[in-house]
Protein backbone atom coordinates (compact mmCIF):
# COMPACT_ATOMS: atom_id res chain seq x y z
CA UNK A 1 0.00 0.00 0.00
CA UNK A 2 2.85 2.40 0.78
CA UNK A 3 4.42 1.64 -2.61
CA UNK A 4 1.07 2.41 -4.23
CA UNK A 5 0.74 5.70 -2.35
CA UNK A 6 4.30 6.75 -3.14
CA UNK A 7 3.90 5.88 -6.82
CA UNK A 8 0.59 7.75 -7.00
CA UNK A 9 2.19 10.83 -5.43
CA UNK A 10 5.31 10.69 -7.58
CA UNK A 11 3.59 9.96 -10.89
CA UNK A 12 -0.04 10.96 -10.42
CA UNK A 13 0.22 14.22 -8.48
CA UNK A 14 2.23 16.04 -11.18
CA UNK A 15 -0.33 15.00 -13.77
CA UNK A 16 -3.20 16.39 -11.70
CA UNK A 17 -1.47 19.72 -11.03
CA UNK A 18 -0.13 20.20 -14.56
CA UNK A 19 -3.36 21.76 -15.73
CA UNK A 20 -3.25 24.46 -13.06
CA UNK A 21 0.33 25.22 -14.01
CA UNK A 22 -0.53 25.22 -17.70
CA UNK A 23 -3.23 27.83 -17.12
CA UNK A 24 -0.77 29.95 -15.19
CA UNK A 25 2.10 29.56 -17.66
CA UNK A 26 0.22 29.83 -20.96
CA UNK A 27 0.79 33.19 -22.55
CA UNK A 28 3.66 34.11 -20.23
CA UNK A 29 6.25 35.92 -22.27
CA UNK A 30 9.11 33.87 -20.83
CA UNK A 31 9.12 30.36 -19.33
CA UNK A 32 12.70 30.00 -18.14
CA UNK A 33 12.19 31.77 -14.76
CA UNK A 34 9.45 29.29 -13.90
CA UNK A 35 11.60 26.38 -15.04
CA UNK A 36 14.33 27.51 -12.66
CA UNK A 37 11.81 27.97 -9.84
CA UNK A 38 10.67 24.37 -10.29
CA UNK A 39 14.26 23.11 -10.28
CA UNK A 40 15.14 24.97 -7.09
CA UNK A 41 12.05 23.56 -5.37
CA UNK A 42 13.32 20.09 -6.28
CA UNK A 43 16.70 20.98 -4.79
CA UNK A 44 14.88 21.89 -1.57
CA UNK A 45 12.85 18.67 -1.61
CA UNK A 46 15.94 16.47 -2.04
CA UNK A 47 17.76 18.27 0.75
CA UNK A 48 14.68 18.00 2.96
CA UNK A 49 14.44 14.28 2.32
CA UNK A 50 18.09 13.85 3.23
CA UNK A 51 17.62 15.71 6.50
CA UNK A 52 14.42 13.81 7.34
CA UNK A 53 16.14 10.47 6.86
CA UNK A 54 19.11 11.60 8.95
CA UNK A 55 16.81 11.93 11.98
CA UNK A 56 14.58 8.96 11.10
CA UNK A 57 15.91 6.75 13.90
CA UNK A 58 14.60 9.20 16.51
CA UNK A 59 11.38 10.13 14.69
CA UNK A 60 7.84 8.94 15.23
CA UNK A 61 6.88 6.47 12.48
CA UNK A 62 3.72 8.33 11.45
CA UNK A 63 5.54 11.63 11.40
CA UNK A 64 8.37 10.12 9.39
CA UNK A 65 5.98 8.72 6.76
CA UNK A 66 4.20 12.07 6.54
CA UNK A 67 7.45 13.94 5.94
CA UNK A 68 8.59 11.42 3.31
CA UNK A 69 5.26 11.76 1.48
CA UNK A 70 5.50 15.55 1.78
CA UNK A 71 9.00 15.82 0.30
CA UNK A 72 8.14 13.43 -2.52
CA UNK A 73 4.98 15.47 -3.16
CA UNK A 74 6.99 18.71 -3.39
CA UNK A 75 9.54 17.00 -5.62
CA UNK A 76 6.81 15.69 -7.92
CA UNK A 77 4.75 18.88 -8.15
CA UNK A 78 7.78 21.08 -8.74
CA UNK A 79 8.79 18.71 -11.52
CA UNK A 80 5.40 19.22 -13.18
CA UNK A 81 5.78 22.99 -12.88
CA UNK A 82 9.24 22.87 -14.42
CA UNK A 83 8.24 20.24 -16.97
CA UNK A 84 5.68 22.42 -18.76
CA UNK A 85 8.17 25.26 -19.05
CA UNK A 86 10.84 22.83 -20.25
CA UNK A 87 8.57 21.36 -22.93
CA UNK A 88 7.65 24.83 -24.17
CA UNK A 89 11.33 25.82 -24.39
CA UNK A 90 12.13 22.61 -26.25
CA UNK A 91 9.40 23.29 -28.77
CA UNK A 92 10.54 26.85 -29.45
CA UNK A 93 14.28 26.19 -29.68
CA UNK A 94 14.44 22.84 -31.50
CA UNK A 95 12.56 22.22 -34.76
CA UNK A 96 11.86 19.10 -36.86
CA UNK A 97 14.68 16.51 -36.99
CA UNK A 98 16.56 18.43 -34.28
CA UNK A 99 13.95 17.26 -31.80
CA UNK A 100 14.47 13.56 -32.49
CA UNK A 101 18.23 13.94 -32.35
CA UNK A 102 18.11 15.91 -29.12
CA UNK A 103 15.56 13.74 -27.29
CA UNK A 104 17.37 10.50 -28.15
CA UNK A 105 20.82 11.90 -27.41
CA UNK A 106 19.55 13.42 -24.17
CA UNK A 107 18.07 10.07 -23.15
CA UNK A 108 21.36 8.32 -23.92
CA UNK A 109 23.41 10.81 -21.88
CA UNK A 110 20.83 10.79 -19.09
CA UNK A 111 20.73 6.99 -18.89
CA UNK A 112 24.53 6.80 -18.96
CA UNK A 113 24.82 9.26 -16.10
CA UNK A 114 22.11 7.40 -14.20
CA UNK A 115 24.04 4.17 -14.66
CA UNK A 116 27.13 5.79 -13.13
CA UNK A 117 24.93 7.16 -10.36
CA UNK A 118 23.42 3.73 -9.80
CA UNK A 119 26.89 2.23 -9.35
CA UNK A 120 27.73 4.93 -6.81
CA UNK A 121 24.37 4.54 -5.07
CA UNK A 122 24.81 0.77 -4.91
CA UNK A 123 28.12 1.15 -3.10
CA UNK A 124 26.72 3.78 -0.74
CA UNK A 125 23.75 1.58 0.15
CA UNK A 126 26.01 -1.39 0.85
CA UNK A 127 28.98 0.35 2.50
CA UNK A 128 27.10 2.66 4.86
CA UNK A 129 24.43 1.72 7.40
CA UNK A 130 20.89 3.09 7.24
CA UNK A 131 20.03 5.98 7.44
CA UNK A 132 23.48 7.44 6.70
CA UNK A 133 23.55 5.88 3.22
CA UNK A 134 20.28 7.43 2.03
CA UNK A 135 21.07 10.73 3.74
CA UNK A 136 24.30 11.04 1.75
CA UNK A 137 22.49 10.03 -1.46
CA UNK A 138 19.74 12.65 -1.19
CA UNK A 139 22.00 15.50 -0.04
CA UNK A 140 24.43 14.76 -2.87
CA UNK A 141 21.55 14.69 -5.38
CA UNK A 142 20.37 18.06 -4.09
CA UNK A 143 23.82 19.60 -4.57
CA UNK A 144 24.26 18.15 -8.08
CA UNK A 145 20.83 19.36 -9.20
CA UNK A 146 21.67 22.84 -7.93
CA UNK A 147 24.84 22.78 -10.02
CA UNK A 148 22.95 21.43 -13.06
CA UNK A 149 20.58 24.40 -12.96
CA UNK A 150 23.43 26.63 -14.16
CA UNK A 151 23.04 24.97 -17.57
CA UNK A 152 19.50 26.32 -17.89
CA UNK A 153 20.66 29.75 -16.74
CA UNK A 154 22.85 29.92 -19.86
CA UNK A 155 19.98 29.13 -22.27
CA UNK A 156 18.80 32.19 -24.18
CA UNK A 157 15.02 32.47 -24.42
CA UNK A 158 13.26 34.96 -26.66
CA UNK A 159 10.15 36.63 -25.27
CA UNK A 160 6.84 35.93 -26.98
CA UNK A 161 3.58 37.86 -27.15
CA UNK A 162 1.77 37.48 -23.84
CA UNK A 163 -1.52 39.01 -24.91
CA UNK A 164 -3.20 35.60 -25.15
CA UNK A 165 -2.92 34.92 -21.42
CA UNK A 166 -6.06 33.00 -20.41
CA UNK A 167 -7.62 32.48 -17.03
CA UNK A 168 -7.96 28.97 -15.67
CA UNK A 169 -11.78 29.11 -15.92
CA UNK A 170 -11.59 30.08 -19.59
CA UNK A 171 -9.19 27.23 -20.27
CA UNK A 172 -11.41 24.72 -18.47
CA UNK A 173 -14.38 25.78 -20.56
CA UNK A 174 -12.35 25.39 -23.73
CA UNK A 175 -11.31 21.77 -23.05
CA UNK A 176 -14.35 20.10 -24.69
CA UNK A 177 -13.86 22.23 -27.80
CA UNK A 178 -10.13 21.41 -27.94
CA UNK A 179 -10.77 17.69 -27.63
CA UNK A 180 -13.49 17.81 -30.26
CA UNK A 181 -11.58 19.94 -32.74
CA UNK A 182 -8.21 18.21 -32.38
CA UNK A 183 -8.48 14.42 -32.56
CA UNK A 184 -4.71 14.21 -32.13
CA UNK A 185 -5.02 15.61 -28.61
CA UNK A 186 -7.88 13.26 -27.73
CA UNK A 187 -6.07 10.18 -29.01
CA UNK A 188 -2.85 11.30 -27.32
CA UNK A 189 -4.63 11.50 -23.95
CA UNK A 190 -6.19 8.06 -24.41
CA UNK A 191 -2.82 6.71 -25.55
CA UNK A 192 -0.89 7.82 -22.48
CA UNK A 193 -3.68 6.67 -20.15
CA UNK A 194 -3.43 3.11 -21.40
CA UNK A 195 0.28 2.87 -22.24
CA UNK A 196 1.38 4.38 -18.92
CA UNK A 197 -0.02 1.37 -17.06
CA UNK A 198 2.99 -0.57 -18.30
CA UNK A 199 5.28 2.01 -16.66
CA UNK A 200 3.45 2.56 -13.38
CA UNK A 201 3.36 -1.20 -12.69
CA UNK A 202 7.18 -1.43 -12.63
CA UNK A 203 7.60 -0.53 -8.90
CA UNK A 204 5.41 -3.53 -8.07
CA UNK A 205 7.97 -5.81 -9.73
CA UNK A 206 10.24 -4.86 -6.83
CA UNK A 207 7.43 -5.66 -4.37
CA UNK A 208 6.99 -9.09 -5.97
CA UNK A 209 10.73 -9.69 -5.68
CA UNK A 210 10.58 -8.86 -1.99
CA UNK A 211 7.61 -11.19 -1.49
CA UNK A 212 9.37 -14.12 -3.18
CA UNK A 213 13.09 -13.66 -2.49
CA UNK A 214 13.30 -11.07 0.25
CA UNK A 215 14.94 -7.75 -0.51
CA UNK A 216 18.57 -7.11 0.36
CA UNK A 217 20.62 -4.01 -0.34
CA UNK A 218 22.53 -5.81 -3.10
CA UNK A 219 19.31 -6.56 -4.97
CA UNK A 220 18.21 -2.91 -5.14
CA UNK A 221 21.59 -1.95 -6.54
CA UNK A 222 21.46 -4.73 -9.13
CA UNK A 223 17.94 -3.76 -10.19
CA UNK A 224 19.05 -0.16 -10.74
CA UNK A 225 22.14 -1.17 -12.68
CA UNK A 226 20.21 -3.45 -15.01
CA UNK A 227 17.44 -0.93 -15.55
CA UNK A 228 19.80 1.90 -16.47
CA UNK A 229 21.88 -0.42 -18.64
CA UNK A 230 18.70 -1.27 -20.52
CA UNK A 231 17.91 2.42 -20.93
CA UNK A 232 21.38 3.13 -22.35
CA UNK A 233 21.44 0.27 -24.84
CA UNK A 234 17.86 0.86 -25.93
CA UNK A 235 18.63 4.50 -26.75
CA UNK A 236 20.83 3.26 -29.57
CA UNK A 237 18.02 1.07 -30.86
CA UNK A 238 15.42 3.85 -30.57
CA UNK A 239 17.72 6.12 -32.57
CA UNK A 240 17.58 3.60 -35.41
CA UNK A 241 13.80 3.29 -35.04
CA UNK A 242 13.31 7.07 -35.05
CA UNK A 243 15.10 7.48 -38.38
CA UNK A 244 12.64 5.08 -40.03
CA UNK A 245 9.43 5.28 -38.04
CA UNK A 246 9.77 8.54 -36.07
CA UNK A 247 8.32 8.97 -32.56
CA UNK A 248 5.32 6.73 -33.25
CA UNK A 249 7.67 3.85 -33.99
CA UNK A 250 9.40 4.33 -30.65
CA UNK A 251 6.07 4.44 -28.82
CA UNK A 252 5.04 1.25 -30.61
CA UNK A 253 8.08 -0.45 -29.07
CA UNK A 254 7.14 0.94 -25.66
CA UNK A 255 3.64 -0.53 -25.93
CA UNK A 256 4.80 -3.97 -27.05
CA UNK A 257 7.38 -4.25 -24.27
CA UNK A 258 5.05 -2.77 -21.65
CA UNK A 259 2.24 -5.19 -22.52
CA UNK A 260 4.40 -8.31 -22.59
CA UNK A 261 6.56 -7.56 -19.55
CA UNK A 262 3.94 -8.35 -16.84
CA UNK A 263 3.56 -11.85 -18.31
CA UNK A 264 7.34 -12.21 -18.53
CA UNK A 265 7.57 -11.20 -14.86
CA UNK A 266 5.22 -14.01 -13.84
CA UNK A 267 7.21 -16.50 -15.93
CA UNK A 268 10.65 -15.36 -14.74
CA UNK A 269 9.59 -15.40 -11.08
CA UNK A 270 9.62 -19.22 -11.22
CA UNK A 271 13.33 -19.45 -12.01
CA UNK A 272 15.06 -17.66 -9.17
CA UNK A 273 16.42 -14.18 -8.58
CA UNK A 274 19.28 -14.60 -11.06
CA UNK A 275 16.74 -14.80 -13.89
CA UNK A 276 14.08 -12.55 -12.37
CA UNK A 277 16.36 -9.52 -12.03
CA UNK A 278 16.67 -9.26 -15.84
CA UNK A 279 13.11 -7.97 -16.08
CA UNK A 280 14.51 -4.62 -14.94
CA UNK A 281 16.88 -4.64 -17.90
CA UNK A 282 13.86 -5.15 -20.18
CA UNK A 283 11.92 -2.48 -18.25
CA UNK A 284 14.73 -0.05 -19.06
CA UNK A 285 13.86 -0.42 -22.76
CA UNK A 286 10.23 0.47 -22.07
CA UNK A 287 11.04 3.42 -19.82
CA UNK A 288 13.48 4.84 -22.35
CA UNK A 289 10.98 4.53 -25.22
CA UNK A 290 8.20 6.08 -23.13
CA UNK A 291 10.36 9.03 -22.07
CA UNK A 292 11.52 9.82 -25.60
CA UNK A 293 8.28 9.34 -27.51
CA UNK A 294 5.85 10.80 -24.99
CA UNK A 295 7.44 14.22 -25.17
CA UNK A 296 8.29 13.88 -28.85
CA UNK A 297 4.72 13.19 -29.96
CA UNK A 298 3.43 16.08 -27.85
CA UNK A 299 5.89 18.42 -29.55
CA UNK A 300 4.77 17.13 -32.95
CA UNK A 301 1.02 17.63 -32.42
CA UNK A 302 1.28 21.06 -30.75
CA UNK A 303 2.60 24.52 -31.61
CA UNK A 304 4.00 27.52 -29.73
CA UNK A 305 0.52 28.86 -28.99
CA UNK A 306 -1.06 25.74 -27.49
CA UNK A 307 1.91 23.65 -26.31
CA UNK A 308 1.69 24.58 -22.62
CA UNK A 309 -2.08 24.08 -22.59
CA UNK A 310 -1.83 20.73 -24.36
CA UNK A 311 0.80 19.58 -21.86
CA UNK A 312 -1.44 20.61 -18.98
CA UNK A 313 -4.61 19.06 -20.41
CA UNK A 314 -2.95 15.77 -21.33
CA UNK A 315 -1.34 15.56 -17.91
CA UNK A 316 -4.48 16.37 -15.96
CA UNK A 317 -6.62 13.94 -17.95
CA UNK A 318 -4.13 11.09 -17.47
CA UNK A 319 -6.39 9.76 -14.75
CA UNK A 320 -5.34 6.13 -15.14
CA UNK A 321 -1.71 7.06 -14.54
CA UNK A 322 -2.63 8.96 -11.39
CA UNK A 323 -5.07 6.47 -9.89
CA UNK A 324 -3.75 3.12 -11.06
CA UNK A 325 -0.91 2.70 -8.52
CA UNK A 326 -3.38 3.04 -5.64
CA UNK A 327 -5.82 0.60 -7.24
CA UNK A 328 -3.03 -1.85 -8.10
CA UNK A 329 -1.69 -1.81 -4.55
CA UNK A 330 -5.15 -2.62 -3.17
CA UNK A 331 -5.96 -5.29 -5.75
CA UNK A 332 -2.59 -7.02 -5.41
CA UNK A 333 -3.06 -7.19 -1.66
CA UNK A 334 -6.46 -8.85 -2.15
CA UNK A 335 -6.02 -11.00 -5.28
CA UNK A 336 -2.27 -11.47 -5.70
CA UNK A 337 0.28 -10.50 -8.31
CA UNK A 338 -0.52 -13.05 -11.02
CA UNK A 339 -4.10 -11.95 -11.66
CA UNK A 340 -3.34 -8.22 -11.70
CA UNK A 341 -0.25 -8.58 -13.91
CA UNK A 342 -2.26 -10.73 -16.34
CA UNK A 343 -4.98 -8.08 -16.58
CA UNK A 344 -2.47 -5.30 -17.21
CA UNK A 345 -1.07 -6.83 -20.41
CA UNK A 346 -4.20 -6.53 -22.64
CA UNK A 347 -4.98 -3.10 -21.20
CA UNK A 348 -1.59 -1.75 -22.29
CA UNK A 349 -1.96 -3.43 -25.70
CA UNK A 350 -5.18 -1.49 -26.41
CA UNK A 351 -3.12 1.71 -26.63
CA UNK A 352 -1.95 0.57 -30.09
CA UNK A 353 -5.38 1.57 -31.42
CA UNK A 354 -4.96 5.17 -30.23
CA UNK A 355 -1.35 5.38 -31.40
CA UNK A 356 -2.42 4.46 -34.93
CA UNK A 357 -4.98 7.29 -34.98
CA UNK A 358 -2.44 10.02 -34.11
CA UNK A 359 -1.19 12.05 -37.05
CA UNK A 360 2.24 13.58 -36.47
CA UNK A 361 2.32 16.12 -39.27
CA UNK A 362 5.82 17.40 -38.56
CA UNK A 363 8.83 15.43 -39.89
- Domains for the chain: give ranges and CATH numbers: 2-153+174-356 (1.20.1250.20)
260-279 per-position pLDDT tens digit: 999 999 999 888 888 999 99
Closest alpha carbon to 307 in 52, 16, 21, 68: 21
User: What average pLDDT does the chain have?
Assistant: 81
How many other C-beta atoms can be found within 10 angstroms of the C-beta atom of residue 297? 24
Task: Give CA–CA dist 49/44, Å, rounded.
Answer: 9
d(CA 330, CA 1): 7
Nearest Cα neighbor of 112 from 235, 13, 10 is 235
> What tens digit of pLDDT does each residue of 222-231 get?
888 889 889 8
Residues of the chain with pLDDT under 70: 4, 7-8, 11-29, 96-97, 158-172, 217, 304-305, 308, 316, 322, 361-363
Contact 195, 345 (CB under 8 A): no
For the whole prediction, is pTM greater than 0.75?
A: no
Q: What pLDDT does 296 receive? A: 83
Count of C-beta atoms within a 10 Å radius of residue 42? 22
Amino acid sequence: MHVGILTAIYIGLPLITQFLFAGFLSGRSRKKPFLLAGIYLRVLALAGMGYTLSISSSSDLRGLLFMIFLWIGIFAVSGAFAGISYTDLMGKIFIGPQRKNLLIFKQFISATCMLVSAIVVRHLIIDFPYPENYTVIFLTASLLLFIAAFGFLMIKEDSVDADNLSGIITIIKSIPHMLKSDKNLLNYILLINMASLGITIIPFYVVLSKAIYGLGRNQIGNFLLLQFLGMILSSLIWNWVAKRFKFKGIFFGCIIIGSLLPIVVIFFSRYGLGVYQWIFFIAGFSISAYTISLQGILLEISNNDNRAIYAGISGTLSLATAIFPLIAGTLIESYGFTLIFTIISPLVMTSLFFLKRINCGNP
